[in-house]
Amino acid sequence: MDTGNRTEVVSFYQAIYMASEGYRDRIGWTGNYTSTAAGAEGTVSSVFSGDIERRVNYYRAMCGLKADVRVNSGSTVNIVSGDDWVPPANTTKAAASQRSALMIVRTYPGNSGLSHDPPNSSTAWTTAAWNANRNGNLALGFFGPGAVDAYFQEDVNGTSAWNVDVGHRRWLLFQWSTDFASGDTPGSFTPGSGSVRPPSNSMYVVPKISELDFAPAVIFATYPPAGFFPARLNAGFWSLSYPGGDFSAATVTLRDSASNVQPVTIVSRRTGYGDNSIVWQVPASVAAKSVTSDRTWNVTVSNIRGEGVPTQHSYQVILIDPDRLNETPVVSGNSSPVGSGSVYAISGVTGADKMEAGIFLRSASGWNEGAEDAAASAVVDRTAGSYPFRAITAGYVKSGSKAFRLTFPTRYDPFINGVPAQEFELGRELVPGASGTLNFQFRRGLMTAASKLAVETSDDGLTWTALGTPWSGTGGAGDSAFQSASLNLPAGAAPLRVRFRYYLADSVSPLYAHEDYPTQPTGIFIDDIKVSGCDWLEQTGAVGAPGLASFTLDATTAGRPLASGQEWWLRARAVVGGKAFSYGPAKSVKPSGPLQLTGPAQPPTTGADYSFIPDPAAQSYQLEVTTVDNSEVWTEGAEHSPAPQVSSATGSYAVSDNLAGYRKSGSFAFRLGLSTPEDNEDHFTIERVVVPTAASTLDFWLRRGPMSLTNRLHVELST
């Protein structure tokens, strides 16, 4: 793993670290919290064990260590002379760890289960559980890959009391280890009683001598590791380890990218946990877990002692956001191509799996996003899935048969140790004008004052900004009817995404949850989402391939024919580590069609030259010059003199008719009918070229004679 290559680090994070996310749904725990009998600890799925193994090896690889450690391989427990309690020798580490995890949670809210020497009076205690506690990292409130994160970061409650020594991290980074085991329980919450069982983890980390692999060369193992590193995995306690290193007199110097010294406090030189280490606490600004641009820190550890141990080690840590790339792909090419077939170039991203070009048609926003089960619905549902998102609650639908619903699925989720926010996103990218607005209808049901609805926008999907002030709940009464909301959208060059987010602003506030009131209208209901003063981008096509450097814009790649008057936005993005990153800036393309004229808009009185795009099928051309008079008001009657400027396509009757009683003025009126039973349509056209203004209207009088209920009169415009 080359941590000096930013793109490789991003790719490794997206492909390996993120592959273990979603582990909550894969644990497959077969145990229970009601019994302490043998087997109550249950087992976990092999896929879940693989998630843990992948997460451990991700960290080891980033730190430069051999990254092929096994988890839950079936290896047996470590029994050493002098152990107070000895399980059967054929007990596997996985089984012992699983029993330990049950003991940890069954002793909650006590903490004897988190002891490395738990008394045999502890609930669910067995000799196997004691052995796993003796040889393991222990956590309450975390499980699976989440516990691995907690062990490495060492900055959270629930990982016992010795975080300052970063012992959990040091055992997982023990350079000669080859085999770990993990026991896990996922946690539970009982709505009626409010009973909480936090998740738990027991990670068997102390190896047997026979398992050690001394082949790899020893190195300085640092955390955070040298090179580029995701800031979200940063820690307040930084450390450096080396087998046999003596750090008793070592010093640490930390500098920023401008060589300014940053204050650090050495908090541990303690031995006994994995490899010998030195640990120092960094300032909050250095321990940041979120960065918008890369931040560099330079570390030097000096006066290290030990036989064969280097006396000094210097390295650089560059904290990054792994969801952002430092290279922006750009599309370049002709802004006004003639017809289709133009080729556009893409500036690539170094090290990308592949490049993609997105082809979007910019159109006026005339849609109405309701919650109906329609194929055209463009909403991304990110709710819990435990309540109806498209709800049919009586009285809480503005139009149609359904409305979007956001509510808290539960009062407490042990996985996040809190109340899960709920959200959905419009699956449309908006291009607001100067007066663009987002409009929708909402009705609050059972919502406490701390329950909030925020409407937010983002131009990259990473940073979200609230529109206006969030709506708060009004208690058990809610709204008596739907309310209208209108929010101004910020105009800008980049298209916007919009999401609706429902969250609890105060973690200790009471709330209404769906699981407590399954038949009541908890939460907020949203319907008829529209925008005005906006265009939107409809993605109609895409092209992607490894190393893609150019593409052709035509009916095939665009997904529909190109025509004059359209505006296409061409955008490129990189796929790195299997993740499609945000699109770069758009290339606006307006195709030109045959006969489109170019030339000065205000020619001199002496004349000017104009050119046009030829039509390959034309035999000759005719140029029409017309004066435009926006002040002209004309009346088109059906009189024979002067002759009306009208062309008609009628059957066996005249379009100009003098039938008594069916004339508004003069002697004639225009008439449309169907001349035979087989006749489907008759029409006449006013042969005037009209250039409307914002205040222009078309006015006429009509009188219907005998007409079938299926007959229609349409007034239509054409360019």
At 590-602, the pLDDT tens digits run 998 788 888 898 9
State the Cα–Cα distance between residues 40 and 36, nearest whole angstrom.
6
Could you say which of 187, 214, 241 is where a domain stops?
214
- Mean per-residue pLDDT for 170-186? 98
* Residue 647 pLDDT greater than 60, yes or no: yes
34 and 121 part of one domain = yes
Q: Any idea what the CATH number is for the domain that residue 404 is in?
A: 2.60.120.260
Parent domain of 531:
368-536
Written as six digits, the tokens of 666 are: 């003069």
- Mean per-residue pLDDT for 470-498? 95
Please report the pLDDT score of residue 161 as a whole number.
46
524 and 461 part of one domain = yes
Q: Does some domain include residue 603?
A: no
Cis peptide before 600 (omega within 30 of 0): no
- Mean per-residue pLDDT for 377-384? 92
Please report the pLDDT score of residue 160 as a whole number.
44
Q: What is the DSSP string of 284-339?
A: TTTS-S--SS-EEEEEEEE--BSTT--S-EEEEEEEE-TT--SS---EES-SS-BS
Q: Does some domain include residue 614?
A: no
* Residue 676 pLDDT greater than 90, yes or no: no
177 and 38 part of one domain = yes
Please report the pLDDT score of residue 478 as a whole number.
95
* Residue 513 pLDDT greater than 60, yes or no: yes
Please report the pLDDT score of residue 375 as a whole number.
61
Q: Does some domain include residue 600?
A: no
171 and 240 part of one domain = no
State the Cα–Cα distance between residues 85 and 119, nearest whole angstrom.
10
- Mean per-residue pLDDT for 148-154? 96
Q: Does some domain include residue 1?
A: no
- Mean per-residue pLDDT for 89-103? 98
528 and 549 part of one domain = no
338 and 298 part of one domain = no
45 and 160 part of one domain = yes
| Residues paired with residue 318 on neighbouring β-strands, in sequence order | 228, 296
103 and 210 part of one domain = yes
* Residue 318 pLDDT greater than 70, yes or no: yes
Please report the pLDDT score of residue 390 as a whole number.
96
Residue 630's pLDDT band (boundaries 50, 70, 90)? low
Q: Does some domain include residue 385?
A: yes
- Mean per-residue pLDDT for 121-148? 97
Q: Any idea what the CATH number is for the domain that residue 542 is in?
A: 2.60.40
Please report the pLDDT score of residue 320 as a whole number.
98
- Mean per-residue pLDDT for 602-619? 88
Could you tell me how far CA 175 lies from the centroid of its own chain?
Answer: 36
405 and 389 Cβ atoms separated by less than 8 Å: yes
Could you say which of 189, 214, 239 is where a domain stops?
214
- Mean per-residue pLDDT for 293-304? 98
Task: Note the residue count of the chain.
Answer: 719
- Tens of pLDDT, residues 65-79: 999 999 999 999 999
Share of the chain above pLDDT 70, in %: 98
- Structurally, the chain folds into a number of domains equal to 5
- Tens of pLDDT, residues 534-579: 999 999 999 999 999 999 999 999 999 998 889 999 999 999 999 9
Q: Does some domain include residue 304?
A: yes
- Tens of pLDDT, residues 2-37: 999 999 999 999 999 999 999 999 999 999 999 999
| Residues paired with residue 589 on neighbouring β-strands, in sequence order | 568
- Mean per-residue pLDDT for 250-276? 96
* Residue 700 pLDDT greater than 60, yes or no: yes
Among 156-165, 444-453, 514-523, the minimum mean pLDDT is found in 156-165
Please report the pLDDT score of residue 156 as a whole number.
67
* Residue 349 pLDDT greater than 90, yes or no: yes
- Residue whose pair of structure tokens reads 């600004």 in the numeric block: 285
Residue 622's contacts (CB-CB under 8 Å, 6 or more residues apart) are none
* Residue 158 pLDDT greater than 60, yes or no: no
* Residue 159 pLDDT greater than 70, yes or no: no
Specify the long-range contacts of residues 369-372, CB closer than 8 Å, at least 24 apart. 369/426, 369/428, 369/528, 369/529, 369/530, 370/399, 370/400, 370/402, 370/403, 370/527, 370/528, 370/529, 371/397, 371/400, 371/402, 371/403, 371/404, 371/526, 371/527, 372/400, 372/401, 372/402
- Mean per-residue pLDDT for 53-73? 98
| Secondary structure letter of residue 487 according to DSSP | E
53 and 189 part of one domain = yes
Please report the pLDDT score of residue 611 as a whole number.
85
- Tens of pLDDT, residues 386-402: 999 999 999 999 999 99
Among 110-119, 256-265, 488-497, 591-600, the minimum mean pLDDT is found in 591-600
Q: Does some domain include residue 441?
A: yes
633 and 718 part of one domain = yes
292 and 344 part of one domain = no
352 and 314 part of one domain = no
Please report the pLDDT score of residue 162 as a whole number.
58
Q: Does some domain include residue 611?
A: no
